[in-house]
Chain A
Amino acid sequence: MLQGMSLACVRGDRELFTDINFSLEAGGLMQVSGPNGSGKTSLLRMLCGLSNPAAGEIRWCGTAIRSLGGDYLAAMTYIGHLSGTKDDLTAIENLRISSALAGSEINATQANDALRYMGLGGRETLPVKVLSQGQRRRVALARLLVCKTALWILDEPLVALDVMAVQLIQELLEQHLKQGGMVVMTTHQEIDITAVSIMQLQLA
Protein backbone atom coordinates (compact mmCIF):
# COMPACT_ATOMS: atom_id res chain seq x y z
CA MET A 1 0.00 0.00 0.00
CA LEU A 2 1.32 3.39 -1.01
CA GLN A 3 0.36 6.42 1.04
CA GLY A 4 1.08 10.10 0.63
CA MET A 5 0.65 12.24 3.74
CA SER A 6 0.19 16.00 3.20
CA LEU A 7 2.87 16.20 0.51
CA ALA A 8 4.15 19.56 -0.66
CA CYS A 9 6.48 20.54 -3.45
CA VAL A 10 8.37 23.81 -3.73
CA ARG A 11 10.36 24.80 -6.83
CA GLY A 12 12.38 27.97 -6.33
CA ASP A 13 9.98 30.27 -4.49
CA ARG A 14 6.89 28.79 -6.12
CA GLU A 15 4.69 26.33 -4.33
CA LEU A 16 3.60 23.76 -6.89
CA PHE A 17 1.26 21.88 -4.61
CA THR A 18 0.58 21.51 -0.91
CA ASP A 19 -1.30 19.07 1.24
CA ILE A 20 -1.67 16.19 -1.19
CA ASN A 21 -3.07 13.12 0.50
CA PHE A 22 -3.80 9.76 -1.03
CA SER A 23 -3.79 6.11 -0.24
CA LEU A 24 -3.37 3.53 -2.97
CA GLU A 25 -4.43 -0.03 -2.22
CA ALA A 26 -3.37 -3.22 -3.98
CA GLY A 27 -5.07 -3.41 -7.36
CA GLY A 28 -5.57 0.35 -7.48
CA LEU A 29 -4.76 2.79 -10.23
CA MET A 30 -4.01 6.41 -9.50
CA GLN A 31 -4.10 8.79 -12.40
CA VAL A 32 -2.39 12.10 -11.75
CA SER A 33 -3.68 14.89 -13.94
CA GLY A 34 -3.21 18.60 -14.20
CA PRO A 35 -2.03 21.28 -16.60
CA ASN A 36 1.60 21.56 -17.75
CA GLY A 37 3.86 22.71 -14.96
CA SER A 38 1.49 21.71 -12.18
CA GLY A 39 4.02 19.33 -10.65
CA LYS A 40 2.98 15.94 -12.00
CA THR A 41 6.52 14.82 -12.77
CA SER A 42 7.77 16.33 -9.50
CA LEU A 43 5.17 14.30 -7.60
CA LEU A 44 6.13 11.12 -9.41
CA ARG A 45 9.83 11.69 -8.76
CA MET A 46 9.01 12.12 -5.08
CA LEU A 47 7.01 8.91 -5.08
CA CYS A 48 9.93 6.94 -6.42
CA GLY A 49 12.37 8.58 -4.02
CA LEU A 50 14.44 10.59 -6.50
CA SER A 51 13.62 13.80 -4.64
CA ASN A 52 12.37 14.66 -1.19
CA PRO A 53 9.01 16.30 -0.55
CA ALA A 54 9.24 19.82 0.92
CA ALA A 55 6.77 18.65 3.55
CA GLY A 56 4.94 15.45 4.33
CA GLU A 57 5.87 11.81 4.03
CA ILE A 58 5.46 8.94 1.60
CA ARG A 59 4.83 5.53 3.10
CA TRP A 60 5.05 2.08 1.59
CA CYS A 61 3.16 -0.56 3.61
CA GLY A 62 3.16 1.80 6.58
CA THR A 63 6.87 2.64 6.63
CA ALA A 64 8.46 5.81 5.28
CA ILE A 65 10.20 5.09 1.96
CA ARG A 66 13.29 7.02 3.17
CA SER A 67 13.96 4.39 5.80
CA LEU A 68 13.08 1.46 3.51
CA GLY A 69 15.74 2.32 0.94
CA GLY A 70 16.57 -0.63 -1.27
CA ASP A 71 13.57 -2.70 -0.14
CA TYR A 72 11.24 -0.09 -1.57
CA LEU A 73 13.25 0.31 -4.76
CA ALA A 74 13.10 -3.45 -5.29
CA ALA A 75 9.29 -3.30 -5.21
CA MET A 76 8.97 -0.39 -7.60
CA THR A 77 9.51 0.31 -11.29
CA TYR A 78 9.73 3.86 -12.59
CA ILE A 79 9.62 4.79 -16.25
CA GLY A 80 10.07 8.50 -16.73
CA HIS A 81 10.08 11.00 -19.56
CA LEU A 82 13.56 9.94 -20.57
CA SER A 83 13.51 6.49 -22.03
CA GLY A 84 16.48 5.21 -20.05
CA THR A 85 17.85 3.38 -23.06
CA LYS A 86 21.36 3.62 -24.46
CA ASP A 87 21.50 4.67 -28.11
CA ASP A 88 24.52 2.52 -28.91
CA LEU A 89 23.15 -0.69 -27.44
CA THR A 90 20.63 -2.95 -29.14
CA ALA A 91 17.06 -3.26 -27.88
CA ILE A 92 17.80 -6.64 -26.35
CA GLU A 93 20.96 -5.45 -24.59
CA ASN A 94 19.12 -2.43 -23.25
CA LEU A 95 16.34 -4.55 -21.86
CA ARG A 96 18.66 -7.10 -20.27
CA ILE A 97 20.91 -4.47 -18.71
CA SER A 98 18.11 -2.35 -17.32
CA SER A 99 16.47 -5.44 -15.86
CA ALA A 100 19.74 -6.53 -14.27
CA LEU A 101 20.18 -3.05 -12.81
CA ALA A 102 16.65 -3.23 -11.42
CA GLY A 103 17.64 -6.42 -9.63
CA SER A 104 15.99 -9.12 -11.77
CA GLU A 105 18.29 -10.64 -14.35
CA ILE A 106 16.65 -12.12 -17.43
CA ASN A 107 18.05 -14.34 -20.16
CA ALA A 108 18.09 -13.62 -23.88
CA THR A 109 14.96 -15.68 -24.57
CA GLN A 110 12.90 -13.80 -22.01
CA ALA A 111 14.10 -10.48 -23.39
CA ASN A 112 13.32 -11.62 -26.92
CA ASP A 113 9.80 -12.67 -25.96
CA ALA A 114 9.13 -9.38 -24.21
CA LEU A 115 10.33 -7.34 -27.18
CA ARG A 116 8.29 -9.44 -29.60
CA TYR A 117 5.22 -8.93 -27.43
CA MET A 118 5.84 -5.19 -27.63
CA GLY A 119 5.79 -5.43 -31.41
CA LEU A 120 9.52 -5.14 -31.92
CA GLY A 121 9.99 -8.58 -33.49
CA GLY A 122 12.85 -8.55 -35.98
CA ARG A 123 14.31 -5.36 -34.53
CA GLU A 124 15.74 -6.81 -31.32
CA THR A 125 19.31 -6.63 -32.53
CA LEU A 126 19.23 -3.12 -33.96
CA PRO A 127 20.88 -0.35 -32.01
CA VAL A 128 18.23 1.80 -30.37
CA LYS A 129 19.47 4.92 -32.14
CA VAL A 130 18.03 3.73 -35.47
CA LEU A 131 14.59 3.09 -33.96
CA SER A 132 11.77 5.63 -34.09
CA GLN A 133 10.58 7.56 -31.04
CA GLY A 134 7.63 5.25 -30.54
CA GLN A 135 9.76 2.15 -30.91
CA ARG A 136 12.20 3.44 -28.28
CA ARG A 137 9.26 3.98 -26.00
CA ARG A 138 8.27 0.38 -26.59
CA VAL A 139 11.76 -0.80 -25.66
CA ALA A 140 11.54 1.18 -22.42
CA LEU A 141 8.06 -0.13 -21.65
CA ALA A 142 9.13 -3.72 -22.34
CA ARG A 143 10.70 -3.57 -18.88
CA LEU A 144 7.21 -3.75 -17.42
CA LEU A 145 6.79 -7.21 -18.95
CA VAL A 146 9.85 -8.67 -17.31
CA CYS A 147 9.91 -6.91 -13.94
CA LYS A 148 8.28 -8.50 -10.95
CA THR A 149 7.55 -5.34 -8.98
CA ALA A 150 4.25 -4.46 -7.34
CA LEU A 151 4.23 -0.72 -7.89
CA TRP A 152 4.62 0.87 -11.30
CA ILE A 153 5.18 4.61 -11.53
CA LEU A 154 4.78 5.74 -15.12
CA ASP A 155 5.30 9.28 -16.35
CA GLU A 156 3.42 9.79 -19.63
CA PRO A 157 3.85 6.17 -20.74
CA LEU A 158 1.60 6.59 -23.78
CA VAL A 159 3.48 9.47 -25.38
CA ALA A 160 4.60 8.73 -28.97
CA LEU A 161 2.82 5.37 -29.05
CA ASP A 162 0.43 4.40 -31.84
CA VAL A 163 -3.13 3.16 -31.28
CA MET A 164 -2.12 -0.50 -31.24
CA ALA A 165 0.60 0.06 -28.68
CA VAL A 166 -1.68 2.15 -26.46
CA GLN A 167 -4.12 -0.75 -26.51
CA LEU A 168 -1.29 -3.14 -25.63
CA ILE A 169 -0.14 -1.04 -22.67
CA GLN A 170 -3.69 -0.68 -21.38
CA GLU A 171 -4.10 -4.47 -21.43
CA LEU A 172 -0.76 -4.83 -19.67
CA LEU A 173 -1.80 -2.37 -16.96
CA GLU A 174 -5.16 -4.08 -16.50
CA GLN A 175 -3.49 -7.42 -16.09
CA HIS A 176 -1.01 -6.01 -13.58
CA LEU A 177 -3.85 -4.43 -11.57
CA LYS A 178 -5.83 -7.67 -11.67
CA GLN A 179 -2.89 -9.48 -10.09
CA GLY A 180 -2.91 -7.04 -7.21
CA GLY A 181 -0.33 -4.61 -8.53
CA MET A 182 -0.49 -0.84 -8.22
CA VAL A 183 -0.04 1.81 -10.88
CA VAL A 184 0.56 5.53 -10.54
CA MET A 185 0.58 7.28 -13.89
CA THR A 186 0.21 10.60 -15.60
CA THR A 187 -1.29 10.93 -19.04
CA HIS A 188 -3.07 13.50 -21.12
CA GLN A 189 -4.74 10.82 -23.20
CA GLU A 190 -8.09 9.20 -22.48
CA ILE A 191 -7.53 5.77 -21.07
CA ASP A 192 -9.96 2.95 -20.72
CA ILE A 193 -8.87 0.64 -17.93
CA THR A 194 -11.03 -1.38 -15.60
CA ALA A 195 -9.65 -1.86 -12.10
CA VAL A 196 -10.85 -2.42 -8.55
CA SER A 197 -10.31 1.20 -7.68
CA ILE A 198 -9.43 4.09 -9.95
CA MET A 199 -8.41 7.33 -8.34
CA GLN A 200 -8.02 10.71 -9.94
CA LEU A 201 -5.54 13.06 -8.36
CA GLN A 202 -6.02 16.54 -9.76
CA LEU A 203 -3.16 18.98 -9.33
CA ALA A 204 -4.10 22.64 -9.59
Chain B
Amino acid sequence: MWIIKRDLLLAVRRQSDVLTTLFFFIIVVSLFPLSVGPEMNMLRTMAPGVVWVAALLASMLSLGRMFSNDYLDGTLEQMLLSPQSLSLLVLGKALAHWLVTGVPLVLMAPVLGIQYDLPVDALFVLTVTLLLGTPVLSLIGAIGAALTLGLRGGGVLVSLLVLPLYIPVLIFGAGAVEANMAGVGFDAHLSLIGAFLLVSLVFAPWAAASSLRVSLE
Protein backbone atom coordinates (compact mmCIF):
# COMPACT_ATOMS: atom_id res chain seq x y z
CA MET B 1 0.00 0.00 0.00
CA TRP B 2 1.11 3.52 -0.87
CA ILE B 3 0.73 4.92 2.59
CA ILE B 4 3.11 2.40 4.16
CA LYS B 5 5.65 2.98 1.42
CA ARG B 6 5.36 6.72 1.89
CA ASP B 7 5.81 6.62 5.66
CA LEU B 8 8.79 4.30 5.37
CA LEU B 9 10.35 6.59 2.77
CA LEU B 10 9.84 9.55 5.11
CA ALA B 11 11.42 7.59 7.95
CA VAL B 12 14.47 6.88 5.79
CA ARG B 13 14.78 10.58 4.94
CA ARG B 14 14.45 11.49 8.59
CA GLN B 15 16.46 8.86 10.37
CA SER B 16 16.92 10.88 13.54
CA ASP B 17 13.29 10.24 14.51
CA VAL B 18 13.74 6.50 14.27
CA LEU B 19 17.08 6.47 16.02
CA THR B 20 15.79 8.58 18.93
CA THR B 21 13.24 5.92 19.81
CA LEU B 22 15.70 3.08 19.46
CA PHE B 23 18.44 4.78 21.50
CA PHE B 24 15.96 5.72 24.20
CA PHE B 25 15.05 2.04 24.50
CA ILE B 26 18.66 0.89 24.53
CA ILE B 27 19.71 3.48 27.10
CA VAL B 28 16.85 2.84 29.52
CA VAL B 29 17.31 -0.91 29.39
CA SER B 30 21.09 -0.66 29.78
CA LEU B 31 21.01 1.78 32.69
CA PHE B 32 19.22 -0.63 35.03
CA PRO B 33 21.94 -3.30 35.32
CA LEU B 34 24.49 -0.51 35.83
CA SER B 35 22.54 1.20 38.58
CA VAL B 36 21.13 -1.85 40.36
CA GLY B 37 24.40 -3.76 40.49
CA PRO B 38 25.53 -7.12 39.20
CA GLU B 39 23.32 -9.33 41.27
CA MET B 40 22.17 -11.97 38.78
CA ASN B 41 19.07 -13.22 40.55
CA MET B 42 17.61 -9.79 41.01
CA LEU B 43 18.44 -8.78 37.43
CA ARG B 44 16.80 -11.91 36.07
CA THR B 45 13.56 -11.24 37.96
CA MET B 46 13.29 -7.64 36.93
CA ALA B 47 14.37 -8.09 33.30
CA PRO B 48 10.96 -8.73 31.67
CA GLY B 49 9.35 -5.79 33.45
CA VAL B 50 12.16 -3.37 32.64
CA VAL B 51 12.33 -4.32 28.97
CA TRP B 52 8.58 -4.08 28.56
CA VAL B 53 8.27 -0.73 30.33
CA ALA B 54 11.11 0.66 28.20
CA ALA B 55 9.47 -0.63 25.01
CA LEU B 56 6.18 0.93 26.04
CA LEU B 57 7.70 4.33 26.78
CA ALA B 58 9.82 4.25 23.63
CA SER B 59 6.80 3.52 21.49
CA MET B 60 4.86 6.32 23.20
CA LEU B 61 7.70 8.75 22.58
CA SER B 62 7.05 8.70 18.85
CA LEU B 63 3.24 8.71 18.96
CA GLY B 64 2.97 12.48 18.73
CA ARG B 65 4.59 12.43 15.30
CA MET B 66 2.24 9.83 13.87
CA PHE B 67 -0.31 12.33 12.55
CA SER B 68 0.91 15.78 13.59
CA ASN B 69 3.41 16.27 10.75
CA ASP B 70 0.79 15.26 8.20
CA TYR B 71 -1.68 17.56 9.89
CA LEU B 72 0.62 20.57 9.71
CA ASP B 73 1.46 20.27 6.01
CA GLY B 74 -2.05 19.43 4.87
CA THR B 75 -1.41 15.89 3.71
CA LEU B 76 -3.76 14.56 6.39
CA GLU B 77 -6.57 16.62 4.82
CA GLN B 78 -5.82 14.94 1.52
CA MET B 79 -5.98 11.53 3.22
CA LEU B 80 -9.41 12.32 4.59
CA LEU B 81 -10.49 13.30 1.09
CA SER B 82 -9.13 10.12 -0.44
CA PRO B 83 -11.78 7.82 -1.87
CA GLN B 84 -9.99 4.95 -0.13
CA SER B 85 -11.26 4.01 3.29
CA LEU B 86 -9.75 6.17 6.02
CA SER B 87 -9.64 3.21 8.40
CA LEU B 88 -7.39 1.36 5.98
CA LEU B 89 -5.13 4.39 5.64
CA VAL B 90 -4.89 4.64 9.43
CA LEU B 91 -4.12 0.93 9.61
CA GLY B 92 -1.36 1.51 7.06
CA LYS B 93 0.05 4.38 9.07
CA ALA B 94 -0.05 2.34 12.29
CA LEU B 95 1.73 -0.54 10.55
CA ALA B 96 4.38 1.84 9.22
CA HIS B 97 4.79 3.24 12.73
CA TRP B 98 5.29 -0.28 14.03
CA LEU B 99 7.80 -1.16 11.31
CA VAL B 100 9.77 1.97 12.13
CA THR B 101 9.60 1.99 15.92
CA GLY B 102 8.42 -1.47 17.01
CA VAL B 103 10.50 -3.81 14.88
CA PRO B 104 13.90 -2.33 15.85
CA LEU B 105 12.94 -2.78 19.52
CA VAL B 106 11.98 -6.40 18.94
CA LEU B 107 15.30 -7.02 17.23
CA MET B 108 17.32 -5.31 19.95
CA ALA B 109 15.49 -6.93 22.89
CA PRO B 110 17.32 -10.32 22.87
CA VAL B 111 20.69 -8.55 22.74
CA LEU B 112 19.78 -6.30 25.63
CA GLY B 113 18.31 -9.23 27.54
CA ILE B 114 21.77 -10.79 27.76
CA GLN B 115 22.75 -8.00 30.14
CA TYR B 116 20.19 -9.38 32.56
CA ASP B 117 21.55 -12.91 32.31
CA LEU B 118 18.28 -14.23 30.89
CA PRO B 119 18.38 -17.87 29.75
CA VAL B 120 18.01 -18.50 26.02
CA ASP B 121 14.42 -19.69 26.14
CA ALA B 122 13.40 -16.68 28.22
CA LEU B 123 15.03 -14.42 25.63
CA PHE B 124 13.02 -16.21 22.98
CA VAL B 125 9.76 -15.72 24.88
CA LEU B 126 10.60 -12.06 25.48
CA THR B 127 11.11 -11.52 21.75
CA VAL B 128 7.90 -13.30 20.84
CA THR B 129 5.82 -11.28 23.33
CA LEU B 130 7.34 -8.05 22.03
CA LEU B 131 6.69 -9.14 18.47
CA LEU B 132 3.01 -9.67 19.28
CA GLY B 133 2.70 -6.77 21.70
CA THR B 134 4.41 -3.84 19.97
CA PRO B 135 1.88 -3.71 17.09
CA VAL B 136 -0.83 -3.37 19.75
CA LEU B 137 1.05 -0.38 21.17
CA SER B 138 1.16 1.28 17.74
CA LEU B 139 -2.50 0.57 17.02
CA ILE B 140 -3.81 1.80 20.36
CA GLY B 141 -1.41 4.71 20.19
CA ALA B 142 -2.96 5.74 16.88
CA ILE B 143 -6.27 6.38 18.67
CA GLY B 144 -4.57 8.59 21.25
CA ALA B 145 -2.56 10.44 18.61
CA ALA B 146 -5.69 11.05 16.54
CA LEU B 147 -7.70 12.29 19.53
CA THR B 148 -5.06 14.79 20.65
CA LEU B 149 -4.27 16.07 17.16
CA GLY B 150 -3.79 19.83 17.04
CA LEU B 151 -4.09 20.28 20.80
CA ARG B 152 -1.48 22.19 22.74
CA GLY B 153 0.14 20.00 25.36
CA GLY B 154 -1.17 16.99 23.47
CA GLY B 155 1.92 15.01 24.49
CA VAL B 156 0.89 14.75 28.13
CA LEU B 157 -2.70 14.07 27.23
CA VAL B 158 -1.80 11.26 24.87
CA SER B 159 0.10 9.49 27.67
CA LEU B 160 -2.88 9.81 29.99
CA LEU B 161 -5.26 8.48 27.36
CA VAL B 162 -3.14 5.66 26.08
CA LEU B 163 -1.30 4.34 29.14
CA PRO B 164 -4.32 2.69 30.80
CA LEU B 165 -4.96 0.81 27.56
CA TYR B 166 -1.31 -0.25 27.37
CA ILE B 167 -1.31 -1.79 30.84
CA PRO B 168 -2.92 -5.15 29.98
CA VAL B 169 -0.35 -5.70 27.23
CA LEU B 170 2.41 -4.80 29.67
CA ILE B 171 1.13 -7.19 32.35
CA PHE B 172 0.75 -10.17 30.06
CA GLY B 173 3.90 -9.40 28.06
CA ALA B 174 6.12 -9.32 31.12
CA GLY B 175 4.04 -12.07 32.73
CA ALA B 176 4.74 -14.50 29.91
CA VAL B 177 8.50 -14.21 30.38
CA GLU B 178 8.20 -14.57 34.18
CA ALA B 179 5.97 -17.62 33.76
CA ASN B 180 8.51 -19.17 31.44
CA MET B 181 11.35 -18.58 33.90
CA ALA B 182 9.25 -20.00 36.74
CA GLY B 183 8.79 -23.15 34.67
CA VAL B 184 5.06 -22.63 34.11
CA GLY B 185 3.50 -22.61 30.63
CA PHE B 186 3.22 -19.21 28.99
CA ASP B 187 0.71 -20.15 26.27
CA ALA B 188 -2.17 -18.41 28.04
CA HIS B 189 -0.27 -15.14 28.20
CA LEU B 190 0.63 -15.33 24.52
CA SER B 191 -2.95 -16.14 23.55
CA LEU B 192 -4.17 -13.11 25.47
CA ILE B 193 -1.64 -10.79 23.78
CA GLY B 194 -2.67 -12.31 20.45
CA ALA B 195 -6.29 -11.56 21.32
CA PHE B 196 -5.38 -7.96 22.15
CA LEU B 197 -3.65 -7.72 18.79
CA LEU B 198 -6.67 -9.02 16.89
CA VAL B 199 -9.11 -6.78 18.73
CA SER B 200 -6.96 -3.70 18.23
CA LEU B 201 -6.41 -4.59 14.54
CA VAL B 202 -10.16 -4.46 14.03
CA PHE B 203 -11.21 -1.59 16.27
CA ALA B 204 -8.24 0.77 16.58
CA PRO B 205 -8.13 1.91 12.91
CA TRP B 206 -11.84 2.56 12.95
CA ALA B 207 -11.71 4.47 16.23
CA ALA B 208 -8.67 6.47 15.12
CA ALA B 209 -10.31 7.29 11.78
CA SER B 210 -13.41 8.65 13.53
CA SER B 211 -11.23 10.70 15.88
CA LEU B 212 -9.33 12.14 12.92
CA ARG B 213 -12.57 13.25 11.29
CA VAL B 214 -13.57 15.02 14.51
CA SER B 215 -10.13 16.57 14.96
CA LEU B 216 -10.05 18.00 11.46
CA GLU B 217 -13.56 19.42 11.37
Report which A residues bind B (CB closer than 8 A).
Answer: 48-52, 70-71, 73-74, 76, 78, 80-89, 93, 97-98, 100-103, 105, 127
Contacts and interface: CB of A to CB of B under 8 A. Distances in A.
Given A70-B84, A73-B81, A84-B77, 12 more contacts: A49-B81, A50-B77, A70-B83, A76-B81, A80-B77, A81-B74, A85-B73, A87-B73, A88-B10, A102-B82, A103-B82, A103-B83
Interface residues of B, number: 23
Interface stretch (B1-9, B27-35, B39-47, B52-60): B1-9
Nearest to A102: B82
Nearest to B1: A100
Contact of B2 (A49, A89, A100): A100
B114 interface: no
Interface of B: 2-3, 6, 9-10, 13-14, 72-75, 77-85, 89, 216-217
Chain A binding surface SS class: loop
Nearest to A127: B13
4 closest A-B pairs by CB: A82-B74, A74-B83, A84-B74, A88-B13
Contact of A89 (B13, B81, B83): B13
Given A83-B74, A85-B75, A101-B3, A50 B80 contact: yes
Nearest to B213: A50
A89 to B, nearest CB: 7
Given A51-B217, A86-B10, A86-B73, A101 B80 contact: no
B74 A101 contact: no
Nearest to A104: B83
Most B-side CB within 10 Å, residue of A52, A83, A88, A103: A88
B81 A50 contact: yes
A52 B6 contact: no
A93 B78 CA distance: 15
5 contacts: A50-B217, A84-B77, A85-B75, A86-B75, A127-B13
Contacts of B14: 88
Contact of B74 (A52, A71, A73, A80): A80
